[in-house]
Chains A and B, each alone.
Chain A
Amino acid sequence: KAGVTQTPRYLIKTRGQQVTLSCSPISGHRSVSWYQQTPGQGLQFLFEYFSETQRNKGNFPGRFSGRQFSNSRSEMNVSTLELGDSALYLCASSRDRTNEQFFGPGTRLTVL
């Protein structure tokens, strides 16, 4: 069974631009969560989607948004990028909202 895939793996943007990251969960998994990982703040929860509905949201500004499609694939969007948005963005999927999560390799975003 294929694991969680994230595209692109690396991305370089400039301040003010916007970016869209994609996540394909493991087949059969309906829950997708997004995290931001930085050396200073550790792993911070962004949001969780389950069956196309946002179920939980972390403490991030409205510039961060996401969605989930009917095939469970998910995208997250960051608008008006800031230097502080440089991070590793991890996506994780699980069968339902109580099971363990399986993580993708992440997208390394660099904002210049």
Chain B
Amino acid sequence: AQTVTQSQPEMSVQEAETVTLSCTYDTSENNYYLFWYKQPPSRQMILVIRQEAYKQQNATENRFSVNFQKAAKSFSLKISDSQLGDTAMYFCAFRDDKIIFGKGTRLHILP
């Protein structure tokens, strides 16, 4: 069965710093999708970034980028120049037929 592990329950960084959130997953499938979602204190979950497993190039969205290591089954999220508005719960998710979420990393951006 597929699993998604986020090993950092909580992190704090200073504003403007760079932070990396880790995510590992386990699957025997070759074609799948990976996502990072953000859930701010307002509770609306929003998509941050997505990665197709067949693409070797790491996805980027403005200050957000991923380091996708397919062989290692690792999918970390890097937030550059962190901002106060980045404070949120971040969920890593894996999807092939089913979608599975990790337990999340609570990220605090400190002023």
Contacts and interface: CB of A to CB of B under 8 A. Distances in A.
Interface in A79-112: 88, 90, 92, 97-106
A19 to B, nearest CB: 19
B50 interface: yes
Interface size class of A (residues with CB under 8 A): 20 to 34
Q: With a 10 A CB-CB cut-off, give which of B44, B47, B98, B99 has the most chain A CB atoms.
A: B99
B43 A56 contact: no
Interface in A31-69: 33, 35, 42-43, 45, 48, 55-56
B98 A106 contact: no
Interface residues of B, number: 20
Interface of A is mostly: strand
Interface of A: 33, 35, 42-43, 45, 48, 55-56, 88, 90, 92, 97-106
